[in-house]
Structure 1
Amino acid sequence: MLGIIFANCAVLSFTVMDAVIKSVSQVFPTGEIIFFRNLFAFIPLLAFAWWRHGGVPLKTSRPWGHVMRGVFGVASMFCFFLSYKLMPLSDAIALGLSGPIFITVLSVPVLGEQVGWRRWSAVIVGFVGVLVMTRPGSTLFDVNALVPLAAAILYAAAMISIRKLGATEPPTTIVFHFTAFATLASLLTIPWGDIDPAQAWVMPSGWGQLGILIVIGLLGGVAQIVMTMAYQRARAATVASFDYTALIYGFLLGAIFYGERPDIFLIVGGCIVVAAGIYIIHRETAVARAQHREPPIPPLPTNE
């Protein structure tokens, strides 16, 4: 029960962070938001590492593995944050939840995993849910919907990288290497900052804007810590299932703060994607038990 409580608190923190990011997405370019998101996340992450481990284990024998994980993770984060600028919050979150579907697809060629007909059926159902939300070919189709879908694919690639790294690297090492990589990589966007070349990095005008950027980083860091604690207290599949509560939180925050009203297509499609994702997690757990090993569920969300 404590693990479930931590999982919900972590997902809520990530979703609140997303809502705050949306509030400043028209002021600051995406690259700059990524920089502050990761820079100030170091504050709670370092405090937690020193409290629990007496230091930060940064030594690694697989530097290129961390680089690949960092590239996919930062690219995914960029697309996720950019989608909050281009779309309603609830739409972007709902489309982004298709990540586990793409993880299943990529696990076959990259990890050589065997995926049975049940999980392939869930993948197909999940794609139907995505089609319901995006309605391609209709006059209502929004090309911006491709941004959170790209984020979900890149998120899946990042999770596959974590699975490969997790065989030899502790979770704390993976998290800190990624946070450092994301902080440094975001500096490369200083000249342009966003898809709009005219929106280069801008200095925060006053303590109010700087405070918002600090809050974004602190929320992200605290959410990562609480999610880690959730995985330490409950089975991975149980915790991963609660990632989908982000859909509810996204709907509520979008309605309260941005006056968003999701249409029936988004609600129905989102529910289909959530159901497919939960079933995929269930099947991965069943297969893991049959093989007497831990289910390969990603330990930390990287879209935030």
Structure 2
Amino acid sequence: MSLATNTKLTDNTQWGLLLAIAGYSVFSGQDAIVKWLVMHDYVIFQVLFVRSLTISIIAFSVGGKTGMLGVLRSSNKGGLALRAGLLLSAWLCYFTAAKYLPLPDLVTLYYAAPLIVTVMSIFILHEKVNAWRWASVIVGFIGVAIAANPTGRAELWPALLVLVAATFWAFATMLVRKIMHAEPTINQMIFTNGGFTLLCGAFMPFLWHTPSLFDLGLMVGLGLLSGAGQYLLYESFRHAPASVIAPTEYTALASSVVLGYLVWHDLPTHTGIIGAVMIVASSLIVMWGERKGKGS
């Protein structure tokens, strides 16, 4: 079955968890590249434009005519457009706040998203959130708070921006699960990234800053990583409930620690190591709980 026609939801939770962990690990690489580019004075709209254009070219190549027709004929254009708008808003809020908040505060606040997803999955998706899933989210959030080791009191409005970004991301996650039964993964990628390309492209005559070949390569590489991460994450929601997937987002912090050391020679603190252990434990809790539930 082709990518453009595969819309079947399955009940393979373990596979969904592995896909989600892989996807969030890829997103850690994305965040490292974005941090590099923002530190070199590239505006987010330009970074998003090259990233989304790269993903769109790949998605069009894979989806082909069938994918394009699927997007044009989709009865879920409203939901797809809303999700794209939520994701774009989350990006803009998060990276605007990043200019004003210390990274530990930023990470701690943003990782409220999985908890928001779990709570929202009850009311929006009517999913049953068992004790294992709640324990996983709570342990993971505590682990992130310890690893981030936030210091000082953040300014109010940037902190609110991060919480808004986390809420936007949580709503977008809900929409992925809601429309996954009707929209193939590749169609969602075509719609979302095509919209990003058009919107951000409208600002390029005013905001474009000609990059070096190295930085341009990073922007294209960002698109490749983001495309792979999107596909893995979309597919994970085809196999597992949103409340199960949510805690796996914490595993991205472990990848971020590795990238931070390789790129900026940042070593984790003692609190970072303790937090990382708890973050890994949070994912193991939900995986063990799901396996125990299937075996009972």
Q: TM-score, normalised by structure 1?
A: 0.69
**Structure 1 residue 176, shift from structure 2 partner:** 1.5
Q: Which amino acid aligns with 2:118?
A: T
Cα offsets for 1:241-293 (capped at 9, x unmatched): 87655323211111121122333334433443443355346657877x69xxx
Cα offsets for 1:32-75 (capped at 9, x unmatched): 2122211111222222223xx86442121122111221122222
Q: What secondary structure is seen at the aligned counterpart in 2 of 1:40? A: helix
Structure 1 regions of 5+ residues with no counterpart? 192-199, 291-304
CA distance 1:115–1:246, shift in 2 (3 Å): closer
51, 61, 75: which one aligns with 1:37 = 51
CA distance 1:266–1:184, shift in 2 (3 Å): farther
**Structure 1 residue 189, shift from structure 2 partner:** 6.1
**Correspondence list, 1:264-283, <5 A:** 264-280=270-286
Between Structure 1 and Structure 2, the one with more helix by share is 2
1:130 touches 1:273 (CA, 8 Å); kept in 2?
A: yes
Q: What secondary structure is seen at the aligned counterpart in 1 of 2:124? A: helix
26, 29, 36: which one aligns with 1:16 = 29
Q: Give 1:216's aligned residue.
A: 222
CA distance 1:246–1:132, shift in 2 (3 Å): closer
Instruction: State how far apart, in whole Å, the 2-side matches of 1:125 and 1:230 are.
Output: 22
Q: Give 1:106's aligned residue.
A: 120
**Correspondence list, 1:1-304, <5 A:** 10-26=23-39, 27-50=41-64, 55-56=67-68, 57-58=70-71, 59-82=73-96, 96=110, 98-133=112-147, 139-142=151-154, 150-187=164-201, 201-225=207-231, 236=240, 245-280=251-286
**Structure 1 residue 160, shift from structure 2 partner:** 0.3
CA distance 1:145–1:163, shift in 2 (3 Å): same
1:100 touches 1:277 (CA, 8 Å); kept in 2?
A: no
Instruction: State how far apart, in whole Å, the 2-side matches of 1:117 and 1:92 are.
Output: 28
Q: Which amino acid aligns with 2:226?
A: G
Q: What secondary structure is seen at the aligned counterpart in 2 of 1:112? A: coil
1:99 touches 1:155 (CA, 8 Å); kept in 2?
A: yes
% identical aligned pairs = 27
Q: Which amino acid aligns with 1:16?
A: G
Give the alignment's Cα RMSD to 1 decimal. Answer: 4.2
Instruction: State how far apart, in whole Å, the 2-side matches of 1:165 and 1:230 are.
Output: 14
Structure 2 regions of 5+ residues with no counterpart? 1-13
Q: TM-score, normalised by structure 2?
A: 0.70
**Structure 1 residue 178, shift from structure 2 partner:** 1.3
Cα offsets for 1:117-156 (capped at 9, x unmatched): 44334444344334435567xx545556766554433222
Instruction: State how far apart, in whole Å, the 2-side matches of 1:246 and 1:265 are.
Output: 17
Query: How many aligned residue pairs are there?
Result: 275
CA distance 1:65–1:39, shift in 2 (3 Å): same
Q: Give 1:300's aligned residue.
A: none
Instruction: State how far apart, in whole Å, the 2-side matches of 1:213 and 1:239 are.
Output: 28
Instruction: State how far apart, in whole Å, the 2-side matches of 1:241 and 1:114 are.
Output: 15
Deviates more, 1:147-156 or 1:211-220: 147-156
Q: What secondary structure is seen at the aligned counterpart in 2 of 1:173? A: helix
Instruction: State how far apart, in whole Å, the 2-side matches of 1:227 and 1:111 are.
Output: 18
Instruction: State how far apart, in whole Å, the 2-side matches of 1:201 and 1:158 are.
Output: 27
1:90 touches 1:262 (CA, 8 Å); kept in 2?
A: no
Q: Which amino acid aligns with 1:119?
A: R
Instruction: State how far apart, in whole Å, the 1-side matches of 2:292 and 2:202 are.
Output: 43
1:21 touches 1:84 (CA, 8 Å); kept in 2?
A: no
